[in-house]
């Protein structure tokens, strides 16, 4: 690990004025610092900031402090009752020990698990802009099939952010100059394009303070389905977060987000448009799956993700709409 300066921030103001890299749970940042993939010169410890509460909002939603640990968020009775998809996604991630340490803000900002990103001997535009991408043409089983660029085909590895995308979460931040802003999660992450090292819209020194969840959709079913290489303690190959409501035999609401497919938690309005107003059933589910994989591209080892996510979506929709799986 490279040497660094360390300071603990006691207030949000001190944190954003600190001029260093934030460390919360440390479970992603320290992992990468040990490998010298990340080499911050200064760490600002935000773990003691007063941002660890989950609070009611006037609209029936919740405001989640950026430091709420993943375990506590998953087990919160209000989250379980109103946003089961979020609890399920969190519980599908990492291990009990890691969830006890991992924070809401840190989980949103965890970096890709691309093997070449982790290997400082490999070419990687994300780690070292302009050096190339060893994953394209290399071993790319876990890589993206949607929204890729010539520069980078990495995925965002998180589970929680996929559920938050389906729930239309808003990310609340505070900048170094004290300015606050609210960014819908759909505008928060960036596709790799020509600058895969820039993963979201945060400015240097901008702190995530909260995540807001709007009031839950009435009478909806929630599901998080994660497909992975072992039954537990593994990242998703593909995952689906779904919030679907059926009224009078027709799909009235559908929010579907996907993990393991892209550089960000993926959501495509065409998928939901193929469902809303339709009767639940194979025809509508197939149309939604077609819309999802339109334009999908495999890179060799990850071609299997295209049929896999089709099937995973269709199976998820069966569960979400109560159609018995044949």
Ligand X SMILES: Cc1cc2nc3c(=O)[nH]c(=O)nc-3n(C[C@H](O)[C@H](O)[C@H](O)COP(=O)(O)OP(=O)(O)OC[C@H]3O[C@@H](n4cnc5c(N)ncnc54)[C@H](O)[C@@H]3O)c2cc1C
Q: Which residues bind ligand X (CB under 6 A)?
A: 21-29, 31, 46, 66, 93-94, 98, 101-103, 105-107, 109-110, 157-160, 207-208, 235
Considering only 196, 205, 265, 280, the residue that binds ligand SF4 (CB under 6 A) is 196
Q: Is 114 in the site for ligand SF4 (CB under 6 A)?
A: yes
Q: How far apart are CA 208 and CA 13, in angstroms?
A: 12
Torsion of CA 50, 40, 133, 106, to 10 degrees: -10
Q: What is the rounded distance in angstroms from the CA atom of residue 3 to the CA atom of residue 39? A: 8
Site residues for ligand SF4, window 117-136 (CB under 6 A)?
A: 117, 124-126, 133-135
Which of 43, 83, 92, 116 contacts ligand SF4 by CB under 6 A? 116
CB of 35 vs another protein, minimal distance in Å: 8
Query: Among residues 21 and 297, whose Cβ is nearest to ligand X?
Result: 21
Q: How far is the CB of 140 from ligand X (least distance, A)?
A: 19
- 80-117 burial, b for 16+ CB within 10 Å, e for fewer? eebbbbbbbbbbbbbeeebbebbbbbbbbbbbbebbbb
Q: Which CB atom, from 116 or from 189, has the smaller least distance to another protein?
A: 116
- Which residues are within 8 A (CB) of 146 and not within 5 positions of it... i.e. 6 or more apart? 261, 262, 266, 295, 296, 297
Tell me the two tokens of residue 295: 């334009």
Where in 129-168 is the site for ligand SF4 (CB under 6 A)?
A: 133-135, 152-154
End-to-end CA distance of the chain: 53
316 neighbors 240 (Cβ within 8 angstroms): yes
Contact 196, 187 (CB under 8 A): no
- Residues contributing to the site for another protein (CB under 8 A): 1, 3-6, 8, 23, 25-27, 30-31, 34, 45, 47, 71, 74-75, 77, 80-81, 84, 87-88, 91-92, 94-98, 100-101, 231-233
* Binding site partner of 249, from another protein, ligand SF4, ligand X, none, Cβ cut-off 5-8 A by kind: none
CB of 54 to another protein, least distance (A): 15
Q: Quote the least distance from Cβ 24 to ligand X, whole Å.
A: 4
């Amino acid at each position: 690990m490279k040497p660094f300066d360390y300071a603990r921030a006691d207030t949000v103001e001190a944190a954003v004025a600190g001029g260093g890299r934030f460390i919360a749970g440390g479970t992603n940042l320290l992992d990468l610092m040990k490998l010298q993939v990340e080499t911050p010169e200064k760490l600002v410890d935000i773990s003691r900031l007063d941002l660890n509460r989950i609070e009611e909002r006037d609209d029936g939603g919740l405001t989640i402090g950026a430091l709420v640990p993943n375990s506590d968020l998953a087990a919160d009775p209000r989250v379980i009752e109103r946003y089961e998809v979020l609890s399920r996604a969190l519980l599908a991630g990492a291990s009990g020990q890691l969830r006890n340490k991992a924070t809401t803000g840190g989980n949103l900002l965890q970096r890709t698990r691309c093997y070449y990103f982790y290997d400082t001997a490999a070419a990687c535009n994300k780690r070292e802009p302009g050096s190339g991408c060893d994953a394209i043409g290399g071993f790319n089983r876990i890589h993206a099939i949607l929204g890729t660029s010539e520069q980078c085909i990495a995925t965002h590895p998180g589970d929680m952010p996929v559920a938050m995308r389906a729930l239309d979460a808003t990310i609340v931040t505070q900048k170094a100059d004290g300015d606050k802003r609210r960014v819908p999660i759909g505008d928060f992450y960036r596709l790799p394009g020509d600058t895969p090292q820039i993963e979201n819209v945060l400015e240097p020194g901008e702190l995530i303070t909260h995540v807001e969840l709007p009031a839950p959709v009435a009478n909806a079913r929630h599901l998080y389905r994660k497909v992975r290489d072992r039954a537990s303690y593994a990242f998703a190959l593909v995952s689906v977060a779904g919030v679907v409501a059926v009224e009078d035999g027709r799909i009235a609401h559908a929010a579907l987000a996907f993990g393991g497919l892209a550089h960000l938690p993926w959501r495509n309005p065409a998928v939901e448009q193929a469902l809303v107003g339709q009767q639940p059933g194979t025809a509508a589910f197939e149309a939604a799956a077609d819309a999802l994989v339109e334009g999908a591209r495999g890179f060799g080892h990850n071609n299997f993700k295209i049929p896999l996510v089709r099937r995973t979506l269709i199976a998820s929709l069966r569960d979400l709409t109560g159609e018995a799986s044949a």
